Every structure is written in C-alpha cells, then in structure tokens.
Amino acid sequence: MLHLTLPELRARRLIAQGLAPSAARPATTSPLAAAEHLMAVQGQNYAAGVRALALRSTQGSAAPDDAAVLNAIDEFQVVRCWPQRGTVHFMPAADVRWMSRLLYPRVARSQQARRPGLGLDEDLFNRAHAALHDAALKSTTPTLTRAEAYEIFRSVGIAPDGGRGSHLLRAFGGAGDLVQGPKHGKQETFMHVDVLPVEQRQPEEPLRELALRYVSGHGPVSAADLAWWTMLAKGQAAKALENSGLVRAEHEGETFWLSPWQQDVTAEEISVALALRLELPAFDEYLLGYANKEWILPDELRPDILTKNGLSWPWVMENGMAVASLREPA
C-alpha cells in the first residue's frame, strides 16, 4: 500500500485536477476534456468557474484562456447546472442527466419539504414541469431567458415571485431536466436537456462511473471526500470506492483512493507540483472538492478565502496550500 505524506497528497491532487503537469494523467488540453476529467467544477460565481476550467485546460503551460471555455459553453459542450448538493456547477453537457438523477434524491426531499411554504403542491409542480418541457420543444431558439421561463409558469397558474420561480428552475435542474445555456449579455439562459445538441451518456453502472471519474479528477480522496462532494451516505461512498478497481493508499491511518494512472506519476512531477505558485479563483475545486479544507486553507486565511457561510474570494496557492487572499478591500 502506498503511504502518503501530506505534501505528496497535495501534489497528487494538483496533478489529478490538471493544475500541475504529468505524463501519466489523461490529457486535459481543452475545456471539454478538463470538464470531462473532473466531472463537475464549482460554478456559483460564473467568471470563477470559467477561470477554473481555463486553468485546467492549460495545466500551467500557458495563460488561462477564458475565451476557449466560453466558446465551449456557446457550443453547448459545457453547461452550468445543479448535478449535486443543489449547488450550481459547470460540467460536460453529455453527463447532466445520469449524474443528476443519481444524486438528486437526497436534495429532492429537502426541496419537496419547502414547497408547501411556497404555495406549490405536486399538481402545480408537475404542470410547470410539463409546460416548460413543451415550450422548450416548440421553441425556435434552444434557450429561454429567466423572464421567458417565468412567463411559462404564469401560463399554468403559478406566480413566479416569492421564490417560486427560482425554486422550480433549481428543482428541474437538479432532476436532470434543465441546464443553463450561454449568457445573453448579463442574462442567464435556460434550456431543457432534451434540446441539448449532445447525446446523453447512460453508464451501465452509474455509481461506479461516478467513483472512477471523481477519483481520477480529484484523487487521492477518502470515502468522506466522495460523500461530501456528492451527498451520498458515507457507507455508500465507501462501497463505491472499494468496488471500482482503484488503488488504495494511506495517510495517517486513513484510507485514500487513487486512479491506476497515478502509479506512473514520477517523483520529479511531485516536486514540480509542489513548486507551483498559482492564482486560483473563488470557489476553486482544489479547495471545494474535498471534505477537509484544513490541509489546504490555514485558519488565519479562511475569513478572506472561504467563509463557513459560503462566501469565497480568489487566492494564491504555493506548495499546495493557500498563502494569501486576493480579496479586494471593501
């Protein structure tokens, strides 16, 4: 079994995420390839999510190309949606439905509990869902603005104010039926998955696919990491990792999992990863992709990089750790 020091664990995560070079890792030389490798990256802040994919598309070898990411979004290769935890992410368009449907049930229960307080019953919810689907299939354009989506809800007797419109959009997105398309100026747009110009993947074993790809794009990871990232029960996450043909490693008595390709990562590549100095965006996946933030983020920097109530700012990483915040003065 591989015994990991903390610096090596950080270095291997940087390599897995495409932030540091390695000949062993699957290539992430385009925004779509980077998105496919990581499966999903945080997208609460639109510009930050774009930059996160741009950084991983160049692997530090060139300046990040945000325009290339925006082009992939314009071509519907990469979309913004809610595949897990009810949190918006950027991900490959082809993976939206299976991943969302695998991970949505736990989020769905909390969303369903909110509906009575919003004046929404299941009949209204289903009417809104059907109306949005029908409108998307009949539309002459693939995307709808928020105002257009809200008008569809009004057509079936639902006033979208009071949080009802946004709740419905997030619920339909979480269920794998709705994504955000390219922005129109500063306006968000929405589109039904059935009108995406890409075929939806249908893995034979979705949970195994999830574990394999999360580990490939984030490893070394623990069962706690996978459970946090997906909201799966920890036992379910552990079983998925154990049954997926992954490489087992250990750090301070805790089991971690790596993809087989990590066995070919060299000592020189580990050293190069730890020598990197990177400016990372707010909500970056290198920090948000794991349960334990303390290995990367010192307590004294937390108020200016990632607060416990979910605010985040750009930051500087050296030796695999946060060393400074790029938060602008108020």
Q: Is residue 157 part of a domain?
A: no
For residue 311, is it within any domain? yes
The pTM of this model reads 0.94
H or E segment and range at residue 192: strand 187-192
- Joined together, the tokens standing for residue 118 give 């919003």
Dist CA 289 CA 42 (whole Å): 8
3-state helix, strand, coil in the chain (%, to 5): 50, 20, 35
Which residue in the block uniquely carries the two structure tokens 């997105």?
173
Domain interval for residue 9: 1-26+200-330
Strand, helix or coil at 28? coil
Count other C-beta atoms under 10 Å from residue 197's C-beta.
Answer: 10
Gap between the Cα atoms of 253 and 3, Å rounded: 9
Give the whole-angstrom CA distance, residue 17 versus residue 286.
Answer: 7
Residue 313 falls inside a structural domain: yes
Q: Is 177 domain-assigned? A: no
pLDDT attached to residue 309: 86
DSSP code at position 301: G
Report the domain count for the chain: 1
3-state DSSP assignment of residue 188: strand
Condensed to tens digits (0 to 9), the pLDDT of residues 265-293 reads 999 999 999 999 999 999 999 999 999 99
Token match 């970056």: residue? 284
pLDDT digits (tens, 9 = 90+) for 16-65: 999 999 999 998 989 999 999 999 999 999 999 999 999 999 865 668 89
Q: Where are the beta strands (DSSP E) in 40-186?
A: 41-42, 78-84, 87-92, 144-145, 178-184
Residue from 278, 272, 216, 261 nearest 241 by CA: 216
Instruction: Please indicate, yes or no, if residue 147 is contained in any of the structural domains.
Output: no
Q: How does pLDDT run across 79-134, given as a tens digit for each residue? A: 999 999 989 999 999 999 999 999 998 888 889 899 999 999 999 999 999 999 99
**Any domain includes 138:** no
Task: Confirm whether 186 is domain-assigned.
Answer: no
Does residue 135 belong to any structural domain of this protein? no
CA distances from 250 to 1, 100, 113, 147, 253 (A): 7, 31, 40, 51, 6
